[in-house]
Structure 1
Amino acid sequence: MSAVDLRTLAEARRKGETRGITSVCVAHPRVIRAALRHGRALGRPVLIEATCNQVNQDGGYTGLRPVDFRRMVLEIAEAEGFDPAQLILGGDHLGPNPWRKLGVDEAMAKAETMVAAYVAAGFTKIHLDASMGVAGEPEALDDETTARRAARLAAAAERAAKEAGTPTPLYIIGTEVPTPGGATHALDHVVPTSHAAAEQSIAAHRQVFAASGLDAAFDRVIALVVQPGVEFGHESVVEYAPEQARDLISMLDGQPQFVFEAHSTDYQPGGKLARLVADGFAILKVGPGLTFAMREALYGLDCIAAELDPGYGGRALADSMERLMLAEPGFWQSHYRGTPQEQHALRHYSFSDRIRYYWPHPLAQAAVKRLMQTLDGRTIPQTLVSQFLPRQADGATAAFADKLIEAAIVRVLDDYAKACEPA
C-alpha cells in the first residue's frame, strides 16, 4: 500500500463502507516493533508518525532528525520481515510549535526547514499545523492566518519533494482543541468542533492555497483534524458521544474529498473507536496510550523481578525513573500540579504519560536493560503475571518478559485494528 491509497478512505465513506487506519504516533522502538509485527500478522499497512517535538531538524526530544527516524523504522521493519511497501510514514503537527518562543519570521523559517526535511526523507503524509501563536501572538490563530502559514509550509514541502525526487505528499490540515497530547486539567466533557467551523477551516485553506498557486497540493489534502469530543486528562477520559458530533459529521456529506482525522483517541473503549471510524473519523491517532501500556508492563515486570531475584533491589526501574524525572523535570514540571505526593503519582501514572519523554535517556535505557537482563531466559510464573500484570494473564504464550510487554502494546493495537477494519 502506498500513501496514495490513503485517498481511498474518503472513497470508501462515499460508498457507505467503514474503513479506517490507525496512526501510530510514537517514537519508541519497542512500540514501533510491536506495531510492525501486528501489521504483518494482520496483513495490513502500518502508518507510523513522528511529531514535531519528537523529531525535527534539531533532533527533537528523541535526538532524531526525520532521515534518522525513517532509517530507524526501516531497520526495524527489515529485522521483522515487514514489507516496506506496506509502511506509511507521516509527520504530525508540523509547524512552528517547537519554536513558539521565537518571533513569527524565525519560527516559520524553522518550520519550513522541518517540513522540507520530512518530505526529503520520504515521509508521505504531512499534517500542516500552523494554528498556534508564536511570540507576541494569541495562543490560537484565526483561520486565515493559519491557512496562510499552512500554505507556506505546503510550498516548502512541494519544493522539497521536487528537489529530492521523493513522492509529493498527502496533506492533513486543521487542529484539535485542547492542545495536542492530552489536556492538562480535569475533564468531564469536550465540545466537538462545529459544522460551520470545520467548513470555514477548509474554505480558508482552499482559498489561500489557490491564491498561492498550490491547487495541486490542495487536491492532495485528504483529511481535516477536528475535535470529535474525545480527550484525556491526567486521570480522566472523555469518551466519544456520537449524538453530540452529528452536526460535525454531516459536514462530510458536502466535502467528498475529506475524512476526519481524530487525535487524542487514546484510552477510548473499542466500541467507541469503531463508532468514530463509522462516523467518518477514518484516521485514528494513538500515542500516549501505547507508551502508557508499555510503561504499565515494564512496571509490572519491575515488581516481578523483585519477587524472583532478591538481588534486583525492590522497584529498581521505577526508582531509577523517579530519580531521573526529579533531576531533569523539564518535561513534566509545568504540566503536573498538586502536592509532592500527587505530582509523584502523576509522573509515573498519568494518562498523559509524560514519562515517555524520558525513555530515550541513557539512565532510563540502562534501568530497562538491567530489568530485562534480570528476567532474561526466565519463564515467569502465571501466578506472578496474574498478580502484577492481570490484563496479560491469559495463558502461557506471554510467559517471558518481552512477550508480556508486546502483549500489552498489542492489546491496544487490537482495539484500533478491529475499529478500522470491522469484520
Structure 2
Amino acid sequence: MKTEIIQKYDKGVPRYTSYPTAHLFKPDFEASTYVDWLQAIPKEMPLSLYSHIPYCDSLCWFCGCHTKITQKYKPIQEYMGSLHKEILMTADAMGRGRPVNHMHFGGGSPTILEPEDVKKLFQTFNEAFTFTDDAEIAVEIDPRDISQEAIRAWAQGGVNRASLGVQDIQDKVQRAINRIQPIEQTAKVAKWLHEEGVHGINMDLMYGLPYQTVDSVLETIRQVMTMAPERIALFGYAHIPSLKPHQRLIPEEVLPDFNERFEQQEAAAELLQSYGFVRIGLDHFAKPDDPMAVAFKNGTLRRNFQGYTTDKADAMIGFGASSIGALPNGFVQNIVAIRNYRAAIDSGTFAVAKSIPFQGKDKLRAAIIEQLMCYHEVDLNNICEKFQSSIDEFDYEISALRSFTDDNIVRYQDGVISVQHDARALVRSVCALFDEYHGSREMTYSQAV
C-alpha cells in the first residue's frame, strides 16, 4: 500500500485495549459500589488477576508506564504490605477461593522484588484464590537486574510464562533510551528461565526508537532468535512528551520518520514470519504451536489491558496503584499515586479512583472493536445477532467506511468488514469508526502506525 494513503489515515487513535477506553473513566467512584460490582460476579466465573508493581531502579526514557524510580527497598516493602491487604480485602468481599485461570504481574518492574517477597506474594494469592490446573501465570521481566534465585522464586510460585523486555540490542539506541542491556545478559536470563522450568518465553521488541534503522531492527530480531522465544511483541514507540515529560530527554531529530517507522515494522514482520512465526493482530507473533497462535486459529483470541491474550476470563481484577479492573458491570481504576493508594488500603478502604459503567451499546461496540483488533475482520450480522441488535443501527458507521473502501483499506460486503492485508496497520483507525466516544473529548493519542 502506498505510504501516502497510510499517512492519510495515520491519525491519533486509542490503542483499544478496552472499550470504552481508559481516558473516559470518571472520578469519584465509591468503594461501596466497587464492592457491589465484585459481588455481582457469578461465583463460578473464572477470574483473571493483574498485579501492578510500580517500581523500577532506573527510568527508561521511552517508558509510558505508571512507575516510580527508587534505589531503596524500604518503599517497595511498604507498598507490598498494602498490596497484600488489598488482595485479602478483595477476596473477603467476594468470598475466598474464587477460581482463577489467568494472572499477570506487570509494572514498573515486578522482578525488582526480592525472592522472599515473591514467595510471600504467592502465599497471599493462594490464601485468597484457587488457581485452576491450567492457569497461565505470567510476569514481566527486566533482564538487567534479576538473579537466578529470583527466577526460581517466581517459578516456584507458579509462573509459567515470562516476557523479557529487550526493545533493541544496539548500543547507540540503548544509550539514547537510557537502557543499557547487553544481549548476553538477556540470553543468560532466558537460559535461567528454562532451567527453572519456565518455557513460555516472550520477547518484547520495539521499532521507531531513536537511531533505529531497518537493518538494526532486523539484527535485533536475528539475535533474539538465538534464544528461541515462543512469542514476540513488536511495539511501535509512542513519543508523547506532553503526557510523559521524561520523553523530552529523547531528541526528536533522531527519531525515525513515518516512512522509516513503517518500513521497520513491515521488514520486521516479514523476517519474523520467515522464522515460522504467525502474525497475530497488530503487533504480536507466535510459533504455530504456541497457545496464542492456537487461540488465533480457533477464533478465541482476546484483547485486554495487557494487549493480545489467551485469557478467557470475563472478569479481570486489578491490584496495586493505577491498576485497572474489567468487571461485568464496567471498568474501574485504582488511585495512581502510591502514597494515596496505600493510605486508602491501610485504612481498610478500597483504593478505587475512577470507573465507567457499561451503558447502552457499549458491550456490542466493544465486541466489534475487539474482533477487528484481533482478526482485522468482523461480521456485523453475527455480532448484532449475539447482542440481539440490528445491523441497521450502524448505518452511519457503514456509510463512513466508504472513504476506507475507496482507498482500498477495507472491503465491505454483506455486513462483513475486512481490513486489507497491506493496510492492517490502520485497523485502529477503522475501529475508531465504531467508537461512539472518539472525538468527543480533546485527547492526545499515539499514531496508528
Q: Give the TM-score range, shorter chain.
A: 0.3 to 0.5
| Bigger helix share | 1
With a CA cutoff of 8 Å and minimum separation of 6, indicate the structure with the bigger relative contact order: 2
Q: TM-score, normalised by structure 2?
A: 0.38
Q: TM-score, normalised by structure 1?
A: 0.40
| Bigger strand share | 2
